[in-house]
Amino acid sequence: MASSDYARIEQAILYLDAHALEQPSLEDAAAHVGLSPFHFQRLFSQWAGISPKRFVQLHTLRSARRLLAERRSVLETSLEVGLSGSGRLHELFVTLTSMTPGEYKLGGEGLTVRYGVHASPFGGCLLAVCERGICGLHFLTGESKEEALAALKHEWPRATFEESAEATAPWMERIFSASRPDAAPRPLSVLVRGTPFQVQVWQALLRVPSGEVTTYEDLARAIGKPKAMRAVGSAVGDNPVGLLIPCHRVLRKTGIFGEYRWGAARKRAMLAWEDLRYDDGVAQQARPGALVEPTAAQR
């Protein structure tokens, strides 16, 4: 799938979200993104694994307010829920390791980081790995690979960098097979370099199950700092490993989706993509995940 096609998917999801109560027709959704009904149906089904009509019928585009109203205290009870058989707990397939204070000061000195640009269901992305696991996942938002790489180097200022899509390709396969409800992969190891506070917030994010959301207030309470909502928001925004550390599952308490490091429309697409997989903890039959190729400028 081309990046231009993914842009249409984002537009379609935002449109269907805004008009969900009206049960928009295939023709209306297709016209909104500038395609014929036939081509839109084919494009959407390729990405989502089901038709636009079925997508709306499954209520995968629940409003943010409903998501928040229905949420349980997932951060307090997620471990119990995750081990009860739902298979949704992010912690079950992502293991987060942080640099020690001494290692943090070294800025990645002595670490070799291999990176590559790949297609993903959410557009091109730059994935970085080291001997201790995944150490960066940046989605490309129109910028070139060099800009994403500059952000990665800022996170690991003293590391050695090698471009090797061959080294990162197996990790891409594991990331998206781990996202399928029928998969039983080995846990993915993620290495981060952050302050103790940032790491605490990122670890709390791993306890938000797929298909559910939380708020900045909930996160602040979960880490025992209920008045630190602004600092929590900054830590969420500084997340260096997109999707795997699920900062896209954080909404404002008003139900507004808010900003996202890699674009608000991509955040909405991620939530919809995850929603396709589960309904009250039961895996759906849809298998979304058409890969979106990076543009020539992003390679």
Is the Cβ–Cβ distance between 113 and 168 less than 8 Å?
A: no
Q: What is the mean pLDDT of residues 197-222?
A: 91
Domains 3-61 and 65-283 share a fold: yes
Percent of the chain's residues with pLDDT above 90: 45
Q: Which CATH class is domain 65-283?
A: mainly alpha
Q: Which of 125, 130, 135, 247 is catalytic?
A: 247
Sequence spans of domains, the chain: 3-61, 65-283
Residue 159 has pLDDT above 50, yes or no: yes
Contact 146, 120 (CB under 8 A): no
pLDDT, greater one: 109 or 64:
109
pLDDT at 173 over 80: yes
Stretch 19-38: mean pLDDT, rounded?
A: 90
Q: Could you tell me the pLDDT band of residue 250, with boundaries at 50, 70 and 90?
A: very high
* pTM for this entry: 0.81
**pLDDT surpasses 80 at 184:** no
Query: In this model, does residue 4 exceed pLDDT 60?
Result: yes
Helix (H) or strand (E) holding 111: none
Superfamily for the 3-61 domain: Homeodomain-like (1.10.10.60)
Q: Which amino acid is at 290?
A: A
Residue 187 scores a pLDDT above 90? no
Characterise 118 by phi-psi region: left (phi > 0), alpha (psi -120 to 50), beta (else): beta
pLDDT of residue 26: 92
Q: What is the mean pLDDT of residues 211-220?
A: 89
Confidence of residue 54 (pLDDT cuts 50, 70, 90): confident
Average pLDDT taken over every residue of the chain: 81
Q: Per mean pLDDT, which of 5-14, 159-168, 182-191, 256-265 is the most reliable?
A: 159-168
Active site residue 247: yes
Contacts of 112 by beta carbon, 8 Å cutoff, 6+ apart: 130, 131, 159, 160, 161, 162
Q: Strand, helix or coil at 280?
A: coil
Task: Please report the pLDDT score of residue 80 as a whole number.
Answer: 40
Task: Return the H-helix or E-strand segment holding 161.
Answer: strand 160-163
How far is C-alpha 235 from the geometric centre of its chain's CA atoms? 16
For residue 85, name the pLDDT band (cuts at 50, 70, 90): very low
Please give the pLDDT value at position 5.
Answer: 84
More confident site: 268 or 290: 268
| Confidence check: pLDDT of 86 > 60 | no
